[in-house]
Amino acid sequence: MSPTKTQPGAWWRRAACRLPAALALLCLQACTQGPQPNIPLDTLPGWHEDTVHEALPALRRSCARWSTMPPDAALGGPPGPGRQVADWAPACQAIAALEDPVEPRALRRLLATHLQALDQGTGTLTGYFEPVLRGSTAPSPRHTTPLHALPPDPGPHPSRAAIEAGALRNRGLELVWVDDAVDAFFLHIQGSGRVVLADGTVLRLGYAGQNGLPYFAIGRLLIQRGEIDRAAMSMQAIQAWLRQASPAAAAEVMQANPSYIFFRPLEGLAAHEGPLGSFGVPLTPQRSVAVDVEHVPQGAPVFMAGVENMPPRLLVAQDTGGAIRGPARADLFWGWGDEAGARAGGLNQPARIFVLVPRQPAPRSLRMVQPLPRE
């Protein structure tokens, strides 16, 4: 994914989720109140319940990324410590000194020593994932839907309907052809994915750009037409409707969303690694989260609590999204494949969000140490 992308993970990010009035009020309060005073980590609700060591690979990736940045590079987030790279050097040095296997209590003590929490309030947690599609490097009667590279000329580029009618044909922009137009549509919404070729090769694709036209949530159209009840709306419900509709009817609904995403091949990613988030590191399933960098520093730990049927969890802010806005808005990366998609598609819950920041700014001369790349 790209730091400039405006088309992040889950479909509801731009679908203007229709929250109940009470939940919408909670979100509004979280946005207007701003972060609350600093809190010791060991007093956070559920802090001692989480298996925090499972977030260590993601924390190490943040430290590794910070180590490549200037000490005074801005990371976003609320006023105070944590807005610049150098502020994180003491915590990263301590993480680099940890020896595997890491004992959870030792990691909790380390984090509590170097970090404190800001209560961002209660907002909304959704989920996204990396789809797995089937494709071919050449078109065939089975593989008819192309995924395109970003055109070299400056946008705006043609609409989805125009592109699907052939507006980009014969320009050499096709990266791969896939066998399912509905899967391709939702790949555009997620922003990255895997395409399995006939010989078993897996092509990893990431976000490269967008055609410059606004996103329209087709779920809204299906509700307006009475095709799906508002209470039953979900990613899975939309997919089911598109698959049972005629190809022409499905295409007409999908083309109601003029936004179109362009992709780029992602090189050097291992099969067990997620796609690149906007922070420039591979996402860790169930531990990486997309946030609003106006309120959360890029790469910072985030603690989540109060989600129904989900234990409290230490997360790491390593991605962003066009509709992820506000201090308590988060989008959890679940992984890849059908199971991850089912879990991501069913997640839309109130959540209490805490951002973890350094206790005090670090001297700008302090060198960032890169932890060893251990998994």
User: Can you give the pLDDT at residue 290?
Assistant: 95
Question: Mean pLDDT, to the nearest integer, of 302-324?
Answer: 93
Q: pLDDT-derived band of residue 17, with 50, 70 and 90 as boundaries?
A: very low
Cα Dmax for the chain: 64
Taking 70 as the threshold, does the pLDDT of residue 226 lie above it?
A: yes
Residue 345: the pLDDT is 85
Arithmetic mean of pLDDT, 7-35: 40
SS3 content of the chain, % helix, strand, coil (to 5): 30, 25, 45
The domains of the chain, with CATH numbers, are 41-128+270-358 (2.40.40.10), 130-265 (2.40.240.50)
d(CA 53, CA 85): 23
Alpha-carbon gap, residue 96 to 102, rounded angstroms: 11
For position 37, what pLDDT does the model report? 66
Q: State the burial class of residue 370 (Cβ atoms within 10 Å of its Cβ: 0-12, 13-18, 19+).
A: middle
Q: How many helices (H) and strands (E) does the chain have?
A: 10, 13
Are the beta carbons of 205 and 195 closer than 8 angstroms? yes
Candidate from 242-246, 267-271, 284-288 with smallest mean pLDDT: 267-271
**Whole-number pLDDT of residue 313:** 97
pLDDT band at 5, cuts 50/70/90? very low
Kindly tell me if the per-residue pLDDT of 34 is higher than 60. no
Per DSSP bridges, beta strands 288-290 and 329-336 are antiparallel
pLDDT at 104: 86
Res 368: pLDDT: 61
pLDDT at residue 95 above 70?
Answer: yes
Residues 6+ apart with CB under 8 A from 358: 81, 82, 87, 88, 90, 91, 114, 115, 116
% of residues, the chain, pLDDT over 70:
86
Q: Tell whether the model's pLDDT for residue 18 goes beyond 70.
A: no
Q: What are phi and psi for residue 188, nearest 5 degrees?
A: -60, -40
pLDDT single digits (tens) 155-193: 789 999 999 999 999 999 999 999 999 999 999 988 899
Residue 132 burial (CB count, 10 A): 17
* pLDDT at 363 (0 to 100): 65
pLDDT of residue 38: 83
Question: Which pLDDT score is estimated for 113?
Answer: 95
Interval 41-51 mean pLDDT: 95
Percent of the chain scoring above 90 in pLDDT: 75
Tell me the pLDDT band of 360, cut-offs 50, 70 and 90: confident
Q: How far is CA 98 from CA 20, 83, 92, 203, 344, in A?
A: 45, 25, 10, 35, 32
Query: What is the structure's pLDDT at 361?
Result: 75
Higher local confidence (pLDDT), 234 or 304: 304
pLDDT of residue 177: 98
Q: What is the pLDDT of residue 321?
A: 80
Whether 302 has a pLDDT exceeding 80, the answer reads yes
pLDDT of 365 reads 56
184-199 per-position pLDDT tens digit = 999 998 889 999 999 9
Please report the pLDDT score of residue 139 as a whole number. Answer: 96
